[in-house]
Amino acid sequence: MDEKKYQQLEQQITPKPKYLKNCINAFVVGGLICFIGQFVALFYISFFDFTERTASNPTVATMIFISMLLTGFGYYKKIAQVGGAGSAVPITGFGNAMISAAIEHRSEGYVLGVGGNMFKLAGSVILYGVFSAFVVALIKTVLVGLGVVSW
């Protein structure tokens, strides 16, 4: 059988991903997570001595903690099946990537298992996140130096 012909047939029969529905779901789920995050931030600003800028650290920690519980009890992957990128992109998705790997590799012990594998999925997020932040900062520094924009 011809490879090309079969791949065409496969394309015909395989259902197409529902991009619009997935986008709407991702928007709603992602928005909802950020909405909750906003409340957490407001909570820290109103009840503790945090400013809008400094409240982001405890907010992120709280969101990751919630994500950890949801992951551990098996709910996060159910949310993700609906939410897609909406649940993967916020910090809770990053938390889920680390925590799910940690739970998975618990059976191989704390050092080679949990320690060695925790960043298996999250590692690329950190690497490319840090690298893109560096590039963006570099561009901004140059632009500020040229007097195009200000800090």
Integer Cα distance of 37 and 31 in angstroms: 10
Nearer Cβ to other proteins (34/121): 121
Neighbours of 66 (CB within 10 A): 17
Q: Residue 145 interacts with other proteins (CB under 8 A)?
A: no
**Closest distance to other proteins from the beta carbon of 33 (Å):** 11
Contact flags string 66-105 toward other proteins, x per CB under 8 A: -----xx-x-xx-xxxxxxx-xx----x--xx-xxx-xxx
Nearer Cβ to other proteins (60/84): 84
Q: Is the dihedral of CA 137, 138, 139, 143 positive or negative?
A: positive
Q: Residue 59 interacts with other proteins (CB under 8 A)?
A: no
**Under rule CB under 8 A, which residues in 15-44 are in contact with other proteins?**
15, 17, 22
Tokens at residue 61, please?
């920690």
Nearer Cβ to other proteins (5/53): 5
Q: Residue 63 interacts with other proteins (CB under 8 A)?
A: no
Please check whether residue 89 is in contact with residue 30, taking contact to mean a CB–CB distance below 8 angstroms.
Answer: yes
Nearer Cβ to other proteins (14/51): 14
Q: Which residues bind other proteins (CB under 8 A)?
A: 1, 3, 6-7, 9-10, 13-15, 17, 22, 71-72, 74, 76-77, 79-85, 87-88, 93, 96-97, 99-101, 103-105, 107, 120-121
